Amino acid sequence: MNEQFDPRLALEQEENEIDLAELFSYYLTKWPAILIGLLAGAVIAGCFTFFMITPKYTATAKLYMVSSSSDSVVDLTDLNIGTSLSSDYAELLKVRPILEQIIEENKLDYTYEQLFNMINLSTISDTRILVIKAESTSPKEAKTIANALAVKAETEIPRLMDTSKPNIAELAIVPLRKSSPSLTKNTLIGGLAGMLLVIGVFTALYLMDDTLNTAEDVEKFLGVMPLTVIPEVKLDKDASTAQTETDARHKEGGK
């Protein structure tokens, strides 16, 4: 028994299948709007980054940590101990008493939590070097915080860990360039977001468009090929004007 053709079922099946080539061609016809979306997104993101986000600066100091078993000789055991203690140094420098002393001594207008979030301490892999980074909206303040932590490491670490003091390998200097935000990165992200937003809108409009525009659309929907197609004819301005004048003469002759 032959199954009866159901146009609605055919339409539903067609809606579930997206012709990527046709969709890409559709995007090409909309390229001016897509380009405008890209430029608008880039301009908005760039302006927001430049005018609305306060730049931050990062200052860096470095400590060299070796736990020596004697006053003058550092052996392999001491080097291994220094490596293992690097993480302990990093954690101890962030304890509340040390950070609160830095706030008080340098007259910083921050709480312990705020200052804690402004510093980053890390060790360089396979070394005994501790990197102290301080981030602030003021480059001079970033330098002050980083160097204050380095100095505190010299005095507080030996007291807390009953070990030899670390050596300051490098003091922080005033950073000349901001560390964040990145104007170039944010502008590119904004442009990409604007372009994707416009493409998303056009994709939704494309998927919701169920009009039959071509003979192929009619064949897919009805299952039969149309016998003929009426072409679109656009009269130019002169032909349209001539036709209007001819109709006017016929009307006058009929009077």
What would the pLDDT profile of 61-105 be if each residue is shown by its tens digit? 998 876 554 444 444 445 454 455 667 788 888 999 999 999 999
pLDDT at 238 over 70: no
Residue 33 sits in which domain range? 7-50+184-254
Angle between helical axes of 31-52 and 20-29 (0-180°, round to 10): 70
pLDDT at 125 over 90: no
Residue 193 — pLDDT band, cuts 50, 70, 90?
very high
Q: What integer pLDDT is reported at residue 128 of this predicted model?
A: 79
Task: Out of 170, 194, 225, pick the residue that ends a domain.
Answer: 170
Residue 51 — pLDDT band, cuts 50, 70, 90?
very high
**Close Cβ partners of 193 (under 8 Å, ≥ 6 residues apart):** 41, 45
The stretch 113-118 carries a mean pLDDT of: 95
Q: Are residues 82 and 27 in the same domain?
A: no
Q: Are residues 125 and 192 in the same domain?
A: no
120 contacts 55 by C-beta, under 8 angstroms: no
- Which residue has better confidence, 55 or 157? 55
The stretch 131-137 carries a mean pLDDT of: 95
Tally of domains in the chain: 2
CATH code for the domain of 109: 3.30.70.1130
Task: Out of 139, 170, 201, pick the residue that ends a domain.
Answer: 170
Q: What integer pLDDT is reported at residue 26 of this predicted model?
A: 87
The stretch 29-40 carries a mean pLDDT of: 94
Q: What integer pLDDT is reported at residue 72 of this predicted model?
A: 46
pLDDT at 57 over 90: yes
Q: Are residues 86 and 144 in the same domain?
A: yes
Q: Are residues 70 and 135 in the same domain?
A: yes
- Which residue has better confidence, 160 or 231? 160
DSSP string, 105-163: HTT----HHHHHHHEEEEE-TTSSEEEEEEEESSHHHHHHHHHHHHHHHHHHHHHHHTS
Task: Out of 118, 148, 170, pick the residue that ends a domain.
Answer: 170
The stretch 157-172 carries a mean pLDDT of: 84
- Which residue has better confidence, 80 or 243? 243
Q: What integer pLDDT is reported at residue 75 of this predicted model?
A: 46
Q: Are residues 44 and 141 in the same domain?
A: no
Does residue 215 belong to any structural domain of this protein?
yes
Does residue 178 belong to any structural domain of this protein?
no
Q: Is the pTM of this model over 0.85?
A: no
Does residue 119 belong to any structural domain of this protein?
yes
pLDDT at 8 over 70: no
The stretch 212-219 carries a mean pLDDT of: 62
Q: Are residues 43 and 83 in the same domain?
A: no
Q: Are residues 29 and 81 in the same domain?
A: no
Q: Are residues 63 and 45 in the same domain?
A: no
Q: What integer pLDDT is reported at residue 222 of this predicted model?
A: 60
**Close Cβ partners of 135 (under 8 Å, ≥ 6 residues apart):** 56, 57, 58, 118, 119, 120, 142, 179, 180
- pLDDT mean across residues, the chain: 79
